[in-house]
Structure 1
Amino acid sequence: MSLPTEPTSAPAGTTAPRIRPFEVHVPEEQLGELRRRVGAARLPSRELVADRAQGVQPATVRELARYWADGYDWRACEERPNALPQHTTEIDGVEIHFVHVRSPHPDALPLIMTHGRPGSVVELLETVGPLTDPTAHGGTPADAFHLVLASLPGYGFSGEPTELGRESGRIARAWAELAARRPTG
């Protein structure tokens, strides 16, 4: 992990916002506690109907809980975003997590993508290769993007807001500010 970096430019007389490198490392104790809590969840013994008219059937929920407690490989999930350049920076009072991948094509267009609610940038990771290096995926250099995958406030590895009002316009303004910042190195 490198030292915190600053944006490449800032208006004269102002302090540039800090952009810090980031990696995902969830402590084993937290994963153990999560597994314990999932395993201890009280589930209904049975549904009163034979179909899903009352919602997700308990057998499905039990199988899902078993998977999250015993079958999900969190370390493999950590490897995927950690294979890419990740950063955090404060915008509008919230620490924002983002992945920033420059295209090998110098004339690539900048593009910010974000996930929905609920969600995470993890669901966008499969787009990185085709968008940043389209020639490796059957496209042309004109199809290339310099890509930023931004985590919404309160989701993934972004900080939690302390006030209401993170509607689409406010998020758009935050992403415009994020677009003006560039990690160095």
Structure 2
Amino acid sequence: MIKPFRIDIPQVDLDDLTDRLTRTRWPNEVTDAGWDYGFPLTRLKELAEHWRTRYDWRAHEAELNRLPHFTTEIDGQNIHFVHVRSANPDALALILTHGWPGSFLEFLDVIEPLSRDFHLVIPSIPGYGFSGPTHERGWDAVRIAHAWAELMRRLGYERYGAQGGDFGAGISLALGAVAPEQVVGVHVNYLPTRPDPDADVQLSATDEARLDKVRQLMANRPPYQALQALTPQTIGYALTDSPVGQLVWIAERFAQWTDPATPVSDDRMLTNISLYWLTATAASSARLHHDVPRGRPLPCPVPVGVAVFAHDITQSVRPLAERLYDIRHWSEFDRGGHFAAMEVPDLLAGDVRDFFLARRPDDSLVAAG
């Protein structure tokens, strides 16, 4: 059963957030620390004070409630999603999947341009936001992909495309693997390509530089990733109990993964962080790092489109990507970072449109009723 959903955070939870922010215990910081020891204290105090005194959750909640929200239960798990129909009844459907530390909010600025040509389904990953915490093991990319296939079936879409970045890219590719008869194509804006000494391919100087960056990341695993992959429950205690802890855990990613020329506004970032805090999903969202299997991904037989943004964590190497996927579309952009839908929504929406309009089947079916 699919049920309409409305966001309505209890006032007591907002008051509790304000109280906790007021009583924050701050650590000291050495003189002229900058970023040498982690997120700078002055900037974090500025963000925390903005969250406590100027940020208005109710205003953003009202804006979000203008969208059509729904929930349904799939495989024993609550699933929240936004479903926006195009004015064109024959439009192809797209399912857009966020990553960590994002949420369905990542896609707010691409809804209007994309819904001119596509029906949009924008779910929250199990364990994230209004999909609520998960309660059992095994919610990896493949299981989520099966849930997405069931969600699209319930909505009546027999043929559709999938798009995502970060974990959303892996889930979208997995969806193409588990439902190839339904998925007309997969577009991703994050596609890590690891060095492959057995690959008999010619690489340009740019490709080699990109692989050097990947090698550095592999040799120096980011601390957040190690903690969430190895002990998500342990870090979850701190993030669920301290709003400033949750704030800095995500704000650091936005600071390091965005293009300085296309920053995400403090209010948009705080809305995203508030979603994690108010739904107490820090630990359950972190579990995805633990549960996602390592190694070679599932074969994805459907056409794949890739958008590469200059300031993302890494940039894909096309000759290596083509050994794994049926690449039909490849775009390189000189601006934008990891949160492309929030940073450069015009570029991402245009690239998604170009890829899927070329994939649109003549017999695409839309949801009934």
TM-score bin, normalised by smaller chain:
0.7 to 0.9
Work out whether 1:103 is the aligned partner of 2:86: yes
Residue number in structure 1 paired with 2:135: 162
**Contact 1:95-1:158 within 8 A present in 2 as well:** yes
Work out whether 1:67 is the aligned partner of 2:50: yes
CA-CA distance at 1:50 after TM superposition: 3.0
From 126, 140, 143, give the equivalent of 1:153.
126
RMSD of aligned alpha carbons: 1.6
Query: What is the distance in 1 between the residues matched to 2:49 and 2:30?
Result: 19
Residue number in structure 1 paired with 2:4: 21
CA-CA distance at 1:38 after TM superposition: 1.7
Query: What is the distance in 1 between the residues matched to 2:54 and 2:135?
Result: 35
From 169, 174, 185, give the equivalent of 2:147.
174
Residue number in structure 2 paired with 1:3: none
CA-CA distance at 1:98 after TM superposition: 0.3
Residue number in structure 2 paired with 1:11: none
Q: TM-score, normalised by structure 2?
A: 0.41
* Cα deviation digits, residues 19-55 of structure 1 (max 9, x gap): 1100111121110101111221211132354321100
* One-letter identity of the residue aligned with 1:50: A
Query: What is the distance in 2 between the residues matched to 1:20 and 1:184?
Result: 16
Query: What is the distance in 1 between the residues matched to 2:75 and 2:48?
Result: 37
Residue number in structure 1 paired with 2:109: 126
In structure 2, the gaps of 5 or more residues are 156-366
**Contact 1:39-1:65 within 8 A present in 2 as well:** no
CA-CA distance at 1:171 after TM superposition: 1.0
Counterpart of 1:50 in 2: which secondary structure?
A: coil
Query: What is the distance in 1 between the residues matched to 2:154 and 2:22?
Result: 43
Aligned structure 1 segments of 4 or more residues deviating by more than 6 angstroms: none
Residue number in structure 2 paired with 1:91: 74
Identity of aligned residues (%): 49
* One-letter identity of the residue aligned with 2:89: P
Query: What is the distance in 2 between the residues matched to 1:118 and 1:145?
Result: 26
Work out whether 1:32 is the aligned partner of 2:5: no
In structure 1, the gaps of 5 or more residues are 1-17, 134-143
Residue number in structure 2 paired with 1:14: none
CA-CA distance at 1:74 after TM superposition: 0.4
**Contact 1:93-1:161 within 8 A present in 2 as well:** no
The structure-2 alpha-carbon separation of the partners of 1:180 and 1:48, relative to structure 1 and needing over 3 Å to count, comes to: same
Q: How many residues align?
A: 158
Query: What is the distance in 1 between the residues matched to 2:135 and 2:119?
Result: 31
More moved, 160-169 vs 87-96: 160-169
Of Structure 1 and Structure 2, the greater helix share is in: 2
* Cα deviation digits, residues 50-97 of structure 1 (max 9, x gap): 321100111111111101111111012112221011100001111000
* One-letter identity of the residue aligned with 1:106: P
Counterpart of 1:181 in 2: which secondary structure?
A: helix
Q: TM-score, normalised by structure 1?
A: 0.80
CA-CA distance at 1:120 after TM superposition: 1.4
